Amino acid sequence: MQALRGTDPRHIGPYRVLGRLGAGGMGEVYLAEAPGGPRLAVKVVRAEYAEDRTFRARFRQEVGAARSVGGSGSYVARVVDADTEGERPWMATEFIDGPNLRDAVLEHGALPVEPVWVLAAALGEALGAIHAHGLVHRDLKPSNILLAADGPRVIDFGVVRALEATALTRTGTVVGSAGYLSPEQIRTHGRVGPSSDVFSLGAVLAYAAAGRDPFGEGQDAVNLMRVVARDFDLSEVPEAVRPLVEACLREDPAERPTPAEVVEATGYAARSLPGRLRPGWFTAAEPVRGTERWLPERGAGECDSRVEYVAPLTLPDGPAPRTPSRRRLLQGLAAGALVAGAGTGGWLWLRDGGSRGGGTQSGPGAATSTRSTPPPPRPAVVEWAYGTSEIAEDGGPCVGLSPDGRLVCFGGVDGRLHAVTWDGRARWYPDLGDPPLGGGVVGTPVVTRDGAYCLHEFGSRFFALDLKGRVRWKRVFDKDRYGALPVATDFLVILTTSPSADQAAMRAYRPDGSLAWSTRLPDQAADPPVVADSMVYINTSRKLTALAAGDGTRLWTREFDNDFPGRPALVGETLVVPAAQAVYGLSRTGEILWQRANTDLDDPETFVAFGDLAIATCPGRLVAVDPRDGSTAWTVRGPGDLERYSDPTVHDSLAYVFLGHSTLYVVDGSGAQTRRLTFPDDSVMAEYRPVIGPHPRQGLHMYVATSNGIAAVSLTG
């Protein structure tokens, strides 16, 4: 730690500044503490960046994303506080007491082989945690890894994408640390996926094991050329570690191991690793230069760097490979399958042949179906993830798709409507808030051939954008706030308003923004309307109302006495209506055909037509109901987590539904489970309905909500 200078602040937000830790590309770094609280490393943004609106907007997004990562057991330094709106924005992370890896190696030489294995396992766990939240670090290097007594920590969560907005896109420079950037990061000017971090991990492990940079030293331009030309030296890396390093440094991102495969190759697991992490775990057998101390005497400061943060994934990175054992991985490498700079055989051969690790699970899981034995669960293959901010709506569909499936749109709490291509590339993201600050909450849009339609600021504004992200028109309402997501008919977009029970209405807009019709409703509507066969159905308090979609004529209203109806499904000629106490069957004219107290259902909110059945989710299960009498046709039961589930999505002849916080079930019309896809804990938002869309090359994609955006899941294979 360095003494404070006269120009350094003495307080940053609520924290008292104790000293300087260093300086990075984003700004100054200080050691600070709150009264009675822990010590923190606080980064204060440079003045030139603080004045840049683009930087500020991205800084706000990235801080929000970073706060979802880190903490106990993750080997990632946690972001605990931030001020993104101050004159000099700042961000505070937990302070890690220990040297960074570069200082430790410079002071004492290369790590022994066993500490390198431990380092590889812990960093693999750290990258896995980062990638599970839809993020990429982008600047993993020795100075960004602190060696604490209880294990390494990945640090320097600066604002990569914000820095790119100021340096990269304006000057054409590469944002990152030469010698630890991946080839694709150099060639594509920073557009990378998670395997880019794995390349950097390989370079870090080579440095730790050999005591020198694998791509040499010198000017940045020379080192960048060496990375692209694959001109690296691993001659000093011990033979036991070299195969794993070579695998990480493969030129093709698809052929590198995943972080989970790196952990597997070390022979450690998440539970066994902490047993090796005790004070002195990284100590060399005999220090260089004869000193008896491993920790460097100087403070573990921050080396100059132009990048210091995790950033959202922006590129697909191929199917997640299956995990080989450490023994199998190293045998394949030792046999020459993965020589650096060789062809494309080795790692793919390990994926496709022999033992397939996680892909060979067998036996029934926690969920059961009353119709068939469920298939074994399989890890979901995430093609790409796009991180921005938390999705705004509480449940409902996670995205809106253009009719051809090539444009994926979603809103969030950052005030923007985001549009992403089918392969994960950002198309546009206009801020719909008022200048100069912008912001606000944007709901999930409905997308038609004319463009995207979305609500902003809790329904006080309704926006229409074209398919290039330009605002075509908007409607601003001081009193008649919209109360639910918009839905579309063939030619109209329909919304409900909910200012009060005596003024509730439904409105339909044409593509040009003109009002096609407006109809008063008997009460406030909390749910989106249901459009089926030229009719619009809306549930309001104890009533269900049917309107003609073309002109808004109110055709009938059915009152349910002491029951509260939900969103119905039209199955054949019967409207199947969920309610708190029973299931109802109505004719198209609103007459009650039957009423049944179905004990398999627990206050379902929405029925969805599924072939000749109506299906609904309720705590812990998916239930199919016969529209003839309301009896149960079949049930799929989920795991013990009863509070996390989504409404079902029907595509072609299959239904897709989350039951539990991390498992998605795919079910056919007979109730048989065709597949179960598992996700890392808390990586997906199971309350949001998955959306199925066409993939121009791979058949189908499934889109799911994550804690800070969306992810695309492969449905092939």
User: Taken in order 339, 343, 346, 348, is the CA torsion positive or negative?
Assistant: positive
Residue 183 · residue 340 · CB < 8 Å: no
**Paired tokens of 76:** 């990632």
Residue of 623, 528, 607 whose CA lies nearest to 570: 607
**Paired tokens of 695:** 């993939």
If DSSP codes are grouped into helix, strand and coil, which group holds residue 682?
A: coil
How far, in Å, CA of 596 to CA of 503, rounded? 33
CA trace torsion 179, 184, 186, 191 (10° rounding): -120
Could you tell me which residues are beta bridge partners of residue 505?
A: 497, 520
The reply to whether 450 belongs to the active site is no
Q: Which residue of the set 52, 83, 103, 139 is catalytic?
A: 139
Residue of 113, 62, 444, 121 whose CA lies nearest to 260: 121
Residue 45 · residue 89 · CB < 8 Å: yes
DSSP sequence for 448-503: ETTEEEEEETTTTEEEEE-TTS-EEEEEE-SS--B-S--EE-SS-EEEEE-S-TTT
User: Taken in order 635, 637, 641, 647, is the CA torsion positive or negative?
Assistant: negative
CA trace torsion 110, 112, 114, 117 (10° rounding): 10
Could you tell me which residues are beta bridge partners of residue 454?
A: 463
Amino acid at 642: L
Q: Is 43 annotated as a binding residue?
A: yes
Count other C-beta atoms under 10 Å from residue 311's C-beta.
30
* Beta strands 673-678 and 377-379, pairing class: parallel
Residue 665 · residue 673 · CB < 8 Å: yes
* Beta strands 451-456 and 461-465, pairing class: antiparallel
Could you tell me which residues are beta bridge partners of residue 625?
A: 614, 632
**Paired tokens of 684:** 């997906």
Residue of 418, 512, 517, 401 whose CA lies nearest to 464: 512
* Strands of the 613-618 sheet, one edge to the other: 368-369, 632-637, 621-625, 613-618, 608-610
**Residue 10: is it exposed, middle or buried by C-beta count within 10 angstroms (0-12/13-18/19+)?**
exposed
How far, in Å, CA of 138 to CA of 152, rounded? 18
* Beta strands 673-678 and 691-695, pairing class: unpaired
If DSSP codes are grouped into helix, strand and coil, which group holds residue 13?
A: coil
Would you please indicate which residues are annotated as catalytic (active-site) residues? 139
Annotated binding-site members for ATP = 43
Annotated binding-site members = 43
